[in-house]
Amino acid sequence: MLAQPTATQLKALTDHAVVLLQKLVQTPSFSKEEQGTAAILTQTLQAWGLAPQQAGNNIYAWATPYAANRPTVWLVSHHDTVKPNKGYTRNPFGGEIENGMLYGLGSNDAGGPLVAMLAAAKFLATAAIPINLVILACAQEEISGPGGISSLLPHLPAADLVLVGEPTRLQAAVAEKGLLVLDCVAKGVAGHAARQEGVNALYEALPDLAWFRDFSFERISPTLGPMHMAVTQIEAGSQHNVVPDSCRFTVDIRVTDAYTHTQVLDIIRQHVKAEITPRSLRLQPSATPAGHKVLAAIESMGIATFGSPTLSDQALIPYPSVKIGPGDSARSHTANEFIYVQEIEQAIALYISLLKTVYP
């Protein structure tokens, strides 16, 4: 049976994690520009006795020796960030700790979950846990880029379980909405506005815009609830006296596991006149398979579960997964982002305990 860390060990693991998080926060790591944090992660894992490997700006390392007869578990989080918004009153790259809160861009999303996972892996590397455990610190998560988790899939064996580190208040997201972005074009005929010539593409778009606003999908996911669609961008016209011959608009759709992307597209095309072009079909909804033993472990530990409306690397991972981590999604991408140091300590203990429960 895998032992839990003592209070002294947990304190030391937390200290290591916090120092690492401060270094990461103090190093800008916007999506596609994560070279600095990749170097810090490599140096840290080497100092911890692990053997990190790098693919692009992704860093990964085996915490336990690989054995083909053992289940494989991935611990996945990301070290890229969005750019700081104009509301910051603190240095977004400060990393200072005040009143138990560590401030800085990416501290909550997802630096805290990442360093907690790394610290848990550090402990498990010296414990007799009967799994193949690999830690992945991914790039380009904030943009779901091809140089992120997708580029790592060919380097690793299939996973029996993936824990995705994101700020969930240490609740377990057992389902996550996917994303479908549509570029739409309503067609008209150009003409002179003064002579009321042509066919105004803006007016042609109006019934479609109203449909996206008002339509409700029939099937509702038991874990993720109803699907949501929103028209988020619109563009038409070149000058005031020319009737526009095209109106372009963008639709953001949060897809649940009640429909596939293809089914959603079929329904939309039956009701909408505009030309519809999906940007990508990659970002699928996900749900932890019913009957997977991680669900029994989560229930036995009293961990609350929910369906997540926000997107993460979970959408790109083709294996059973649960999204769980310290911090609060409501703090993500906000000014003066922070995470409590205590949350990181709690997460380290939880990750170790959860894996111990799933794989005793």
pLDDT in tens, 296-330: 999 999 999 999 998 899 999 999 999 999 999 99
Going by pLDDT thresholds of 50, 70 and 90, the confidence category of residue 128 is: confident
Whether 259 shows a pLDDT value over 60: the answer reads yes
Which pLDDT belongs to residue 127?
Answer: 86
Helices (H), 3-57: 7-25, 35-47
Task: Tell whether the torsion through CA atoms of 334, 309, 139 and 61 is positive or negative.
Answer: positive
Nearest to 95, CA basis, from 29, 167, 171: 29
Which of 48-74 are b and which e, b meaning 16 or more Cβ less than 10 Å from the residue's Cβ? Answer: bebebeebbbbbbbbbbeeeeebebbb
- Predicted confidence (pLDDT) per residue in 140-193, tens digit: 999 999 999 999 999 899 999 999 999 999 999 999 999 999 999 999 999 999
Q: Which two tokens stand for residue 76?
A: 């996945």
Residues 6+ apart with CB under 8 A from 16: 48, 119, 122
**What's the whole-model pTM score?**
0.89
Averaged over 353-359, what is the pLDDT? 95
Whether 2 shows a pLDDT value over 70: the answer reads no
Which residue has 């002179």 as its token pair? 192
> Where do the domains of the chain lie, and which CATH numbers do they carry?
7-176+285-358 (3.40.630.10), 178-278 (3.30.70.360)
Whether 1 shows a pLDDT value over 80: the answer reads no
Which pLDDT belongs to residue 195?
Answer: 87
Q: Which two tokens stand for residue 57?
A: 């700006």
Which residue has 């790591």 as its token pair? 29
Give strand pairing partners of 145: none
- Predicted confidence (pLDDT) per residue in 73-127, tens digit: 999 999 999 999 999 999 999 999 999 999 999 999 999 999 999 999 999 998 8
Which of 211-243 are b and which e, b meaning 16 or more Cβ less than 10 Å from the residue's Cβ? Answer: bbeeeebeeebebbeebebebeeeebeeeeeeb
- The helix/strand/coil state of 131 is coil
Which pLDDT belongs to residue 196?
Answer: 86
Separation of alpha carbons 355 and 133, rounded Å: 10
Which pLDDT belongs to residue 4?
Answer: 84
Instruction: Let me know: does 144 contact 249? Beta carbons within 8 Å.
Output: no
